[in-house]
Chains A and B, each alone.
Chain A
Amino acid sequence: MKLYSLSVLYKGINKSNLLKAAYDLSSFSFFQRSSVQEFMTFTSALIVERSSTGTRSSIKEQEYLCHVYVRNDSLGGVVIADGEYPSRVCFTLLDKVLDEFSRQVDSIDWPSGSPATISYTALDSYLAKYQNPREADAMTKVQAELDETKIILHNTMESLLERGEKLDDLVQKSEHLGTQSKAFYKTARKQNSCCEVM
C-alpha cells in the first residue's frame, strides 16, 4: 500500500506546467530511481494535459494507479499510488493539498511557475504522512461526500490520448525525460517480461 508521487501542476492552454512535486522512490531499485522519477513527472504532466477542468479521474497503468483532480481554476494535482492504496484517500489528499496550495501561492504565479520558483513546502510531509492511509482525517466523512462526485476511470494511459497519438512518440518528444530514461523505456517496452535477464 504505497504512494509514489504527489504533484501540483497548472493546466495551461496547450501544455501543463509542473509547479511542485514530492516523490517516495524507496521501493524502487537504486539505479532506476532517477528514471522512475522522470517518468512519474512525465506521466503526471501528460495526465493533467489530457484531463478536462473540473474532473477527477483514476488511470490504471501496469501496477500503478494515477489519481488526478483538475480544478475549475486549472490547478491540478496528481497522486501516483499502487493498486492497494484506497483511491478515496487519494482524492481527499488532492482536495486538501490543492486547497492549501491555492491559498499559499498566488494564482498569478501558476502559469509560469516551476519547482524552483514556487515556495510551497508541504508536499513532502503530506506524502510521508499519507503513506499510512489511516492518517487521512475524517475518512468516512469523505466517503459519503465523494459518493456524489463522479470519478472517471481509465484502464490505460492510451485511453487519454488523441486518436492516432502514440505513447512511444510522446515519450521520445518529452522534455521531462533524459536520454537514459528514453533508452530505458525503449528496452523495457520490448521485453515486458519479468523473467528477462538482459
Chain B
Amino acid sequence: MAESEEEVDVLVQRVVKDINNAFKKNPNIDEIGLIPCPEARYNRSPIVLVENKLGMESWCVKFLLPFVHNKLLLYRQRKQWLDREALIDITCTLLLLNPDFTTAWNVRKELAQCGVLNPERDLYLGKLVLTKFPKSPETWIHRRWVLQQVLRQCRPRAAEQKEPGEVELGGAQGSPPNERLRRVLRDEMKVCAEAAGRYPSNYNAWSHRIWVLQNLAKGNLKILYDELSSMKLWVSTHVSDHSGFHYRQFLMKALVAELSRATDASCGPSQDLHRSHWPNGDGVGPAAAEESRTASVPELFGKELELCTDLIETYPGHETLWCHRRHVFFLWYHWRKEQSQDVGRQPSLLNHTDETLSGSLGASAGRNVQAMDVDLALEESKQTSYTQDSKRLKRGPLQLRPGLPSEHSFVTKILSGCRSPEQGRFAAAYRKWLDSVIVAADTRDAKKWFSLI
C-alpha cells in the first residue's frame, strides 16, 4: 500500500490525536506497549486501549516516527511553527516511541520553564515510557531535571540552608513535614523498583534511586533503614542482580556515615536529630540515642552478612552474592579500624563498645591483631564483671559480630559441603581475597575509603 505524503500526514495527525484522546479518556494508563501487527486493518486506528494499557500496532511506527521526528526538528530549526498544545502532543508521541530523543525532552523543559507544562506531567510520561524502555538513559536524566524543579518549588528558602541538598522531609527546625516531597520520594522509589524488575541489573534505574536519596532524603536515617529493610525481599529474589546489591552497599555506606557522623558530633542537645528521624520516636533522649546508634553499626553489618550467608547457602554459585560479601566485609573492616583509631578522641559515654574491646587488648596490640581478635575480645569481656557494657555487647547473638575468623570458618563450611563447582571457586577466591586484600588494606588510609561516599 503506497502512501502519498498527504495520506501519511492525515494518518499521523489521526494517530497523534488518538494518543492524546486515550490519555484524556483514561488518566490511569500505566503501561505502554507495541502490538506485533504487520499489516493495518482498513480504517482502524493503530492505537489500542485495553484496561489501563496503551498499545500501538507495529505497522504504523515506520510512518509515524520519522514524520513526527521531522516535524519537531523543523520546529527547532524555526522552519515551521508549532503551538504549545501541538508541541506537547508531538513530543509526547515521539517520546513514547523513542525516549532517547533528547531534543523532545528539551522542548518539554522549555515548555516547563515557560510555565505552560507542569513538570510533574513529565514524571508521569517518564513512568509510562519506562514500562517499555526501562533503561532509557535520557528518560532518567530528564527525570532528575524535573525533580530538581520540584525541589526548587518545595524549598524556596534554599539559599538559607547551610548545606546544599539538605532534606526538608523531616521539616527543618520544627516546620511541618513536606508532604509533596514525601509523595514524590515514594513514587520515585516505586518507579525505580518497577524499572529494575523489567530489566536485569538495570544500572540506570538503581543509580537514579541513589541520586533520589542523596538529593531528596540526604541524611534521613529512617528512610535509609526503611529502604534497607524493604529491599531485603527484592535482592533475595534477584540474587544475580548486581545493581540491586550495589544499592544495598550504598545504603550501608550512607547509614554508617550518618551513624558515625552523629557520634562524632558533640554529645550536647541534639542539633542533628532534625536531620534524622530516629525510628524509636520521641521517647529517646539524645545521649541514649547516640549510644544506640554506635552500638547498632556492628548489628547492621552482622545482619547484612547474615543475609548474605543465607543467600549464598540457599542459592549456590552466584558470583554477585560473593561480591556483595566482599563489599560488606570491606566496609565493616574499615569502620572497625576507624573506630579503633578514634577511640582516644571520643568521650567514653559514646563509645562503650570500643573501649571495652580495645581496652582489654592493651595499647601494645598491633592493628592487625586487634581486628582479627574481635571475637577473642568478646570472650575476654564475658569473663569480666557483668557490667552495663557487656550487657550491651550481648544484646544480639554473638554471631552478629563479624570478623576475619568467622569469615574464614564460613568459607571452610561452604567448601566442605558444596557440590557446585562455581560455588567452590567463588569461596576459594573469597578466602584468597581475605588473605591478600584485607591484610594489604591495613596499610592504606581508612578515611580515604569513607570519603568515597
Residues of A within 8 A of B (CB): 1, 27, 29-32, 35, 63, 83-84, 86, 132-134, 143, 147, 180-181, 183-184, 187, 194, 197-198
Contacts and interface: CB of A to CB of B under 8 A. Distances in A.
Contacts of A184: 36
Contacts, number: 58
Contacts of A181: 36
Interface string B37-53: 11000000000101101
Contact of A32 (B33, B61, B97, B240): B33
Nearest to A86: B315
B419 A147 contact: yes
B197 interface: yes
Given A197-B61, A197-B97, A1 B33 contact: no
Contacts of A132: 237
A188 B80 CA distance: 37
A83 B240 contact: yes
B58 A180 contact: no
Nearest to B51: A30
B58 A187 contact: yes
B61 A30 contact: no
A31 B314 contact: no
A198 to B, nearest CB: 5
Chain A contact surface mostly = helix
Contacts of A180: 36-37
A3 B97 CA distance: 30
B205 to A, nearest CB: 15
A31 B237 contact: no
B96 to A, nearest CB: 11
Given A35-B36, A197-B65, A134 B238 contact: no
Of the four ranges (under 10, 10 to 19, 20 to 34, 35 or more), the interface on chain B belongs to: 20 to 34
Contacts of A32: 33, 36
Contacts of B53: 30-31
B385 to A, nearest CB: 44
Chain B contact surface mostly = mixed
19 contacts: A1-B237, A1-B238, A27-B197, A29-B33, A29-B34, A30-B55, A31-B33, A31-B36, A83-B240, A84-B239, A84-B315, A133-B314, A183-B36, A183-B37, A187-B36, A187-B38, A194-B135, A198-B58, A198-B62
A83 B318 CA distance: 11
A64 B31 CA distance: 24
B365 interface: no
Nearest to A144: B419
B200 to A, nearest CB: 8
B33 A143 contact: no
A140 B58 CA distance: 48
B260 interface: no
Contacts of B97: 197
B46 to A, nearest CB: 12
A95 to B, nearest CB: 19
Interface in B259-315: 314-315
Interface string B109-139: 0000000000000000000000110010000
Nearest to A1: B237
B35 interface: yes
B36 A198 contact: no
A172 B146 CA distance: 47
A134 B240 CA distance: 17
Contacts of B51: 30
B98 interface: yes
Given A27-B198, A84-B240, A180-B36, 4 more contacts: A1-B239, A63-B200, A83-B240, A198-B62
Contacts of A197: 61, 65, 97-98
Interface string B227-248: 0000000000111100000000
A197 to B, nearest CB: 5
